[in-house]
Amino acid sequence: MDIIRHDDGSLTVPVAPVRASDDADSDTDTDTDSPTVPEAATIVLRPGEGGYTEALAEWDLQQDPDRGEVVSTASGRAEAMSVVHAVAEDPEHVAEAVEALADPDAGAEALRHVLIGGTPSVQAFASEVAEAEGGDELPPHTATKIIGEVLAEIDNNPSE
């Protein structure tokens, strides 16, 4: 099962089913030749919850599994900081913020690089955005949500 990203930024993530123990009720009449496969369960993770940043990075990878290793460049990092700041200032205009980028692909690569580092990387990036672009530092869960929105927008509207 794939990770599903919802419009509100939450992610539906599959979790490994719990295996039944071998010593469970041996008195029951079961067919031991055909083991039961427990149904896969899911949980919903929201920005700021444990594991969200990692799940968002995994979701991004599943969008294009053939994508090569993520590389962040100085210009891509600047693009990433600019777009995150713009969306933080005006969350209703993600598409316009992405359209304003000179190189959306480089910005996306830099944002993916941030996600791979997990929460500490997102927190450091949020500090860097505040320092470079001005304004208050975003909480990591807010920065992560914005990164997800920007990546979804870039992936839905690839540059020509």
- Give the residue extent of every domain in the chain: 52-156
Q: Are strands 41-45 and 4-5 parallel, antiparallel or unpaired?
A: unpaired
Lowest mean pLDDT among 70-74, 89-93, 114-118: 70-74
152-156 average pLDDT score = 89
Confidence of residue 128 (pLDDT cuts 50, 70, 90): very high
- Looking at residue 39, its pLDDT comes to 64
Predicted confidence (pLDDT) at residue 143 exceeds the cutoff of 90: yes
Give dist(CA 79, CA 111) in Å, integer. Answer: 9
Choose the weakest-confidence range: 31-45, 92-106, 139-153: 31-45
Q: In this predicted model, what pLDDT tens digit does every residue of 30-73 receive, in sequence order?
A: 555 555 555 668 999 988 788 888 888 888 888 888 877 777 78
Residue type, 36: T
Q: What is the pTM of this model?
A: 0.70
pLDDT at 34: 55
